[in-house]
A and B are shown apart, each in its own frame.
Chain A
Amino acid sequence: MSESAQHMSSVDARRAIEALRSGVPNRDAVRALGCMQPHALDAFAVMLEELAAPIGDHGFPIVPGQLVSGDFGSGKSHLLGFLAMESLDRRFVSSTVVISKETPLYDPVKVVDAALREGKIPGATGSAVGELAQRIDYAAPEAEPLVRWAATVPDFFAATIHLHRHLKDPDLLEKIVAFWSGGKLGVSEVRAGLRQVDASKAFTVTRLSQVELALLRLQLCSYLARANGYNGLVVLLDEVELIGRYSLEKRGRSYAELSRWLGLPGADAIAGVTCVATITDDYEIVVLNERNDQVLIGERLRTKGGDANLVLAARAEAAMRLITRGHLLLLQPTVDTLRESHDRLRRVYEQAYGWPPPPLLAERTSTTRKMRSYVRRWINEWDLLRIYPGVTVTLEEDVVRSSYEEDVSLEQESEVSDTE
């Protein structure tokens, strides 16, 4: 799927180089450089195939996800960028969420909201849910699974689907679509809508919890996708290792949520959604082992008591086992893959600037550095040689180490505007 540099416009080639300067492999960079992780691509292809299968009477299947690990700078984000493009090319809605202060993994509502916001369908800007909702034809055969599924969900949510199908009130329709994308919608508003379409008695509208709503929204997105001729929803979670900086309790909840996203058995997985998540490969040693999470998390949750905490403990432990031995490790670059990446990047750089960059790989080259380091070094050196012809370039590099120091400020709620 990688695109030859000569087929890229110079603007797109420059976009690729600009993105690589930030270590953020954008669409153009990923297209140009391709992906040299065949085992990850093969596993992903199987996941997509399962998700694209015809929907039976029981709805979408659960398609277990994949946890990918690699050192800092080894190309995890690049892989996710490639998978995002593969997803779109194969007619999936694709959503990439970077675990961050705004999207803490322990809070499923925030992560789902982000997944819906970041959802992309080919050729459209803005909310994927909004675009899909706008285009849906409820009478089409493709919408049948959605209609069947709507009959199985709690009445509040089912009522919104019914209203979207039958209501003419543009204001309320907008609110419903906004609600599906994560916004608020009151019980009284839904009831008022049902009165407009003479369906007051068809639904018993009562509040749902935010978590329940979030999971329903995610599934709805998949059904909307299928109703519009797409195959389902792929969620890509990047930088999961940030959870190592949370407190013990939040780490426990994060592990439990990771279980859910990856569709582990007993984890209340989300049908119609498959997920690939990335984590640094030293997480096991530094966090799980050195902080003894594999013992302490379960102990803490079980001590709290209650069925919910027992379930959380089990899910958290399942995720920790996956981090220990169920993940897919990124392949280190070989001399051949390094040379291939170098040559491709050289062509992109030339296409970007109309200037032929000199080769920078020695005949005998070792592969001791991370790919990120190579890419940054190559681009830095070409930039300097191009802008300052004849200059001698002597690159130095700071050693970058992971820090998993706990930071409670990452768990503090973000401020909201006074207008919200």
Chain B
Amino acid sequence: MTALLHPDEWVDTIDREYLDDFIKDGGASIKFAVACGDSNASSIAEQLKQRAKQRSYVTIEISAGATRVHLIDKFFDAVATQVPWDELTTRVLVRFAQENGLNIPAVLGDSLERSLAHHNGLDAAFVRATLERPLGQVVFRDRLLTKEFRLAMTWMCRARLRGGEEGAIMRQDIERWLQGTPAAGVMARQYSIFTKVNRFNARYFFASLVHWIASAGLPGTVITVDITGLTAPRRSGNGANFYTKAALLDAYEVMRQFVDSTDELTNLLLCFVADESLLDTQPGSRGLGAYQALQNRIFDEVRDRDRVNPMGSLVRLGVGSFGSDVGDEVAR
């Protein structure tokens, strides 16, 4: 029988070992939490999300049932849709304003430049010029952001500065481009953004996005991805995405790429939450055994007989113990 770790204990460990320091200090980690026995994947994800919220992380929830997680650009779109862009740009601009000696009012209006101008007894055009400088020097030159993302964030900041209808249109155009809305690519050209988010660049945009969130002064990003439906062998009939074998392998490949790319990621905890079917290591199965490259990276072939290592890449969560005897040969 294989030991299990109580979900509460795991969430406590993640909170203490990751959210409290490593992630907010710039680290990144990809975890796979497997709900075994009677434990529930959604409630594990929810617990993790709540803990992250308490620490002011940006929290993103994705479900393989609703988002085609085997398409990395769709994955990015789903993330981008949940990012509090306005909050981020406000934070960045407020920091620039403070660094340039401006006082910040308690309530910020729709147009940040007018709010700051009014509060500081200055002309709005002067405030705009003052904050355009760090936009160009800091945001636009941040080499940890891809070029298109830098442009997008520069324009988002400008939108926040200006406010009003002009700002609203700018922000909407950029957000729609980030979210992969059809035809948004055409609108984005007026901002000198000529490339849309696609499967070849989505990972770079993702890395830029999590870096941007941290740049805004937040501890980082926690993303929970419910992949319980991924391994379903047939359509559920409830409208959830069904993954063919090929799509399943593509989804595992997306996960494998995340695991391999932590060098490029900062301030991120990405947690895939699954059910026990993920643990099937038979090559013909729909579990990890279907995709050796991912299995080799995350599977807990080395484990303690009596307890789960809560720091593991893959953790088995539940109450008590379950499953077949350990030490079974695993065909890779």
Contact = CB atoms under 8 A, between A and B. Distances in A.
Contact of B145 (A125, A130, A377, A394): A125
Contact of B283 (A15, A397, A403): A403
Interface in B312-332: 312-313, 326-332
Interface stretch (B45-53, B91-99, B225-233, B255-263): B255-263
Contacts of A401: 329-332
B301 interface: yes
Interface stretch (B68-76, B107-115, B130-138, B163-171): B68-76
Nearest to B25: A11
Contacts of A393: 304
Contacts of A105: none
Interface in B50-98: 68, 70-71, 73-74
B28 to A, nearest CB: 7
Contacts of A400: 296, 301, 330, 332
A196 B306 CA distance: 72
B254 to A, nearest CB: 9
Nearest to A412: B246
A413 B199 CA distance: 14
A383 B328 CA distance: 24
A17 to B, nearest CB: 9
Contacts of A21: 311-313
Given A124-B143, A403-B332, A23 B302 contact: no
Contacts of B29: 18
Contacts of B304: 380, 384, 393-396
A384 B307 contact: yes
Nearest to A124: B143
Contact of B147 (A101, A117, A130, A420): A130
A22 B330 contact: no
Interface residues of A, number: 68
B249 A410 contact: yes
B250 A22 contact: no
A307 interface: no
A140 B72 CA distance: 39
Contact of B305 (A182, A394, A399, A414): A394
B45 to A, nearest CB: 20
Given A24-B297, A242-B293, A398-B301, A419 B329 contact: no
Contacts of B246: 409, 412-415
Interface string B172-205: 0000000010100000010010111011110010
Interface size of B as a range: 35 or more
A26 interface: yes
B310 A27 contact: no
B293 A380 contact: no
Contacts of A174: 194-195
Contact of A11 (B26, B263, B297, B331): B26
Interface in A126-175: 126-127, 130, 134, 170-171, 174-175
Interface centre among B246, B253, B297, B312 (most CB of A within 10 A): B246
A410 B310 CA distance: 33
B298 A22 contact: yes
A343 interface: no
B146 A126 contact: yes
A159 to B, nearest CB: 19
A100 B73 CA distance: 18
A125 B146 contact: yes
Contact of A23 (B180, B247, B297): B297
Contacts of A242: 292-293
Contacts of A26: 262-263
A325 B209 CA distance: 47
A410 B291 CA distance: 9
Contact of A394 (B194, B250, B306): B306
Contact of A420 (B194, B199, B309, B312): B199
Nearest to B297: A22
A123 B143 CA distance: 8
B123 interface: no
Nearest to A391: B307
Contact of A398 (B73, B180, B249, B330): B330
A376 interface: yes
Contacts of A377: 302
A80 B28 CA distance: 22
Contact of B292 (A15, A391, A396, A403): A403
Contact of A125 (B180, B196, B204): B204
A97 B68 CA distance: 24
B330 A182 contact: no
Interface string A366-397: 00000001001100100110011001011111
A107 to B, nearest CB: 15
What 8 A-B pairs come out closest when comparing CB atoms?
A174-B194, A126-B146, A398-B301, A412-B246, A376-B302, A394-B305, A409-B245, A399-B329
11 contacts: A10-B25, A15-B28, A100-B256, A102-B253, A124-B143, A127-B146, A171-B189, A178-B195, A373-B302, A380-B303, A417-B180
Given A100-B256, A397-B327, A409-B245, 4 more contacts: A72-B332, A113-B200, A117-B201, A400-B330
Interface of A: 10-11, 14-15, 18-19, 21-24, 26-28, 72, 98, 100-102, 113, 117, 123-127, 130, 134, 170-171, 174-175, 178, 181-182, 239, 242, 373, 376-377, 380, 383-384, 387-388, 391, 393-403, 405, 407, 409-410, 412-417, 419-420
